[in-house]
């Protein structure tokens, strides 16, 4: 039968209760005989004085009889028995031989105290009550057989600190065991969901297949969902890459035909052909970006790691950016370039940094500030512009292919890009180098790139 989670919780609760009681009972049998006392009720106290008074009368009526004879012949209730305790144990007397099977020495502590109800696992005593009989002082106890079972009485007679400790320890251990069994699949699901949210489509919960409850079914459904999502995304990326690749050939032929036609066209027709050529170049650039992004995402891009001088890598990029900024009446401010060596791929790093700088230059109003520094074992590049920035809820979406923070992000002024691919390529190129890219709003948009100076796989070689 299928075990549902509610049934498991219910059964585990009662298992905890039963196990705790079993531990209490087991421990109770390991301790020596103990007793517990409580205040005597008024009716029982009155009954105890009645026994004393009856005993005194019986002794007065039979002065020639010994105390043993009086106790043995005196009629008592079916369950009540009398124990006269003397300071000298040899002079202590009992009214019934059955009391010899009880450990009456447990009553020693009660001498001289107020009458109490004294419980042991074998009997119940009421007393003591001081009496003076035949020139001897005794402590009078009325003994009754204990009707309570030994099992639960032993538990009740245990010290409170011991019972509390056992209850807490047993419940904590069993509850922790159950909680771990319950939380394990939840943690697996949480970890897999987090990895899936970060773009790792191969993440699976891998919940124990033998689980037949709701959590086990949830884990199976999650894995099925993740598999279908991975298949759909990979199919979409493969389709986009295949289409982009197949479009290169007809696009190339279109550019060649346009070039030939431009040489023969005149007047207004030549203007149309120039427009077609311009748009075809933009389309060619977009297809190149798509193919580059597809290779980076699939891990098939050829990466050649080698030591690079950071200053030599960045100087051409910044020079081109300063030249372009003059044409746009803007300014690019750069800090001193570090002379440290960075292990990386020249083409990928150049493409990533160039895309970030061009994006900042495109949306800046007047100024783009670039800071380069070495922090520990990392190269840190910060590119800041004084543009309008991006809404906070859109910062984590800037690297999604074809995503635009606003409808105005379209190619203008003969600029390449504008299709939402530049930052996506930059992010994947930086990931290849085990780096990280961060977007923040300041006066405009701040882009911070951190790349380790050494790559892990290079260090291992």
Find the CATH number of the domain harbouring 114: 3.30.450.210
| Alpha-carbon span 191 to 208, nearest angstrom | 15
Terminal CA-CA length for the chain: 56
For the question of residue 245 being annotated catalytic, the response is yes
pLDDT at 220: 87
Is 206 within the bounds of a domain?
A: no
Q: Please identify, among 146, 168, 188, the residue that sits at the C-terminal boundary of a domain.
A: 146
Q: What is the mean pLDDT of the chain?
A: 77
Say yes or no to pLDDT of 361 above 70: yes
pLDDT for residue 410 is more than 50: no
Stronger pLDDT, 421 or 427, i.e. the higher one = 427
- What integer pLDDT is reported at residue 381 of this predicted model? 92
Q: Which of 50, 73, 86, 245 is catalytic?
A: 245
Residue 119 resides in a domain: yes
Q: From 146, 180, 214, give the residue that closes a domain.
A: 146
**Does residue 191 belong to any structural domain of this protein?**
no
Domain span at 74 = 35-146
As a whole number, mean pLDDT of residues 403-419 equals 49
Does 223 fall in a domain?
A: no
Percent of the chain with pLDDT over 70: 78
| Residue 137, pLDDT score | 85
Is residue 450 within 8 A of residue 379, CB to CB? The reply is yes
Residue 396 forms part of a structural domain: yes
In a domain? residue 442:
yes
Count Cβ atoms within 10 A of the Cβ of residue 246 and give its class: 0-12 exposed, 13-18 middle, 19 or more buried. exposed
Cα angle 309, 315, 317 (rounded to 5 degrees) comes to 115
CA dist., res. 360 & res. 370, Å (int): 10
User: Domain count of the chain?
Assistant: 2
| Lowest pLDDT segment from 21-35, 114-128, 384-398, 432-446 | 21-35
Half-sphere exposure of 25 (CA within 13 A, CB side): 10
Question: Which of 38-52, 152-166, 179-193, 247-261 shows the lowest mean pLDDT across its residues?
Answer: 152-166
Residues near 357 by beta carbon (within 8 Å), at least 6 away in sequence: 317, 318, 321, 332, 368, 370, 383
Report the CATH number at residue 345.
Answer: 3.30.565.10
Q: CA 443, CA 274: separation in Å to the nearest integer?
A: 39
Q: What is the DSSP letter of 257?
A: H
Q: Report whether pLDDT(459) > 60.
A: no
Position 422 scores a pLDDT of 78
Contact 400, 427 (CB under 8 A): no
**Highest mean pLDDT: which range of 38-47, 92-101, 287-296, 362-371:** 362-371
Q: What is the mean pLDDT of residues 275-287?
A: 76
**Domain assignment present for 315:** yes
Q: What is the pLDDT of residue 83?
A: 84
pLDDT one-digit tens code per residue, 109-162: 665 667 888 777 677 788 888 888 878 888 888 888 766 545 555 656 666 677
Q: Confirm whether 242 is domain-assigned.
A: no
Residue 148: predicted pLDDT: 55
Listed residues 146, 178, 203: the one ending a domain: 146
Q: Taking a C-beta distance cutoff of 8 angstroms, is the pair 277, 258 a contact?
A: yes
């Amino acid at each position: 039968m299928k075990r549902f989670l509610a049934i498991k919780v219910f059964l585990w609760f009662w298992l905890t209760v039963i196990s705790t009681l079993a531990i209490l009972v087991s421990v109770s049998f390991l301790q020596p005989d103990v007793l517990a006392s409580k205040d005597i009720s008024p009716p029982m106290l009155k009954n105890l004085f009645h026994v004393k008074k009856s005993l005194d009368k019986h002794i007065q009526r039979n002065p020639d009889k010994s105390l043993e004879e009086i106790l043995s012949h005196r009629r008592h209730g079916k369950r009540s028995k009398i124990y006269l305790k003397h300071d000298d144990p040899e002079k202590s007397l009992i009214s019934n031989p059955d009391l010899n099977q009880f450990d009456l020495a447990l009553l020693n502590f009660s001498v001289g105290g107020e009458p109490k109800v004294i419980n042991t696992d074998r009997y119940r005593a009421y007393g003591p009550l001081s009496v003076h009989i035949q020139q001897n002082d005794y402590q009078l106890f009325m003994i009754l057989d204990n009707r309570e079972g030994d099992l639960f009485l032993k538990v009740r007679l245990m010290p409170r600190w011991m019972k509390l400790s056992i209850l807490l320890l047993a419940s904590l251990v069993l509850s922790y065991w159950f909680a771990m069994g319950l939380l394990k699949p939840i943690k697996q699901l949480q970890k897999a969901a987090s990895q899936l949210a970060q773009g790792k489509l191969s993440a699976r919960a891998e919940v124990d297949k033998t689980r037949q409850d709701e959590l086990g079914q949830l884990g199976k459904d999650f894995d099925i969902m993740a598999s279908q999502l991975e298949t759909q995304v990979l199919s979409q990326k493969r389709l986009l890459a295949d289409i982009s690749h197949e479009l290169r050939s007809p696009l190339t032929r279109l550019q060649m035909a346009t070039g030939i036609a431009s040489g023969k066209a005149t007047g207004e027709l030549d203007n149309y052909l120039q427009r077609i050529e311009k748009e075809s170049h933009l389309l060619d650039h977009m297809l190149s970006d798509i193919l580059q992004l597809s290779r980076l995402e699939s891990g098939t891009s050829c990466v050649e790691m080698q030591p690079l001088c950071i200053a030599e890598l960045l100087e051409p990029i910044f020079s081109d950016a300063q030249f372009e900024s003059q044409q746009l009446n803007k300014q690019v401010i750069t800090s001193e370039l570090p002379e440290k060596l960075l292990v990386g791929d020249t083409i990928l790093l150049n493409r990533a940094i160039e895309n970030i700088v061009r994006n900042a230059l495109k949306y800046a109003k007047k100024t783009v500030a670039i800071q380069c520094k070495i922090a520990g074992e990392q190269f840190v590049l910060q590119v800041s512009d004084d543009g309008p920035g991006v809404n906070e809820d859109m910062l984590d979406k800037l690297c999604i292919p074809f995503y635009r923070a606003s409808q105005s992000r379209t190619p203008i002024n003969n600029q390449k890009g504008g299709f939402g691919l530049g930052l996506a390529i930059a992010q994947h190129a930086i990931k290849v180098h085990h780096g990280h890219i961060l977007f923040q709003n300041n006066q405009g948009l701040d882009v911070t790139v951190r790349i380790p100076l050494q790559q892990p796989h290079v260090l291992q070689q």
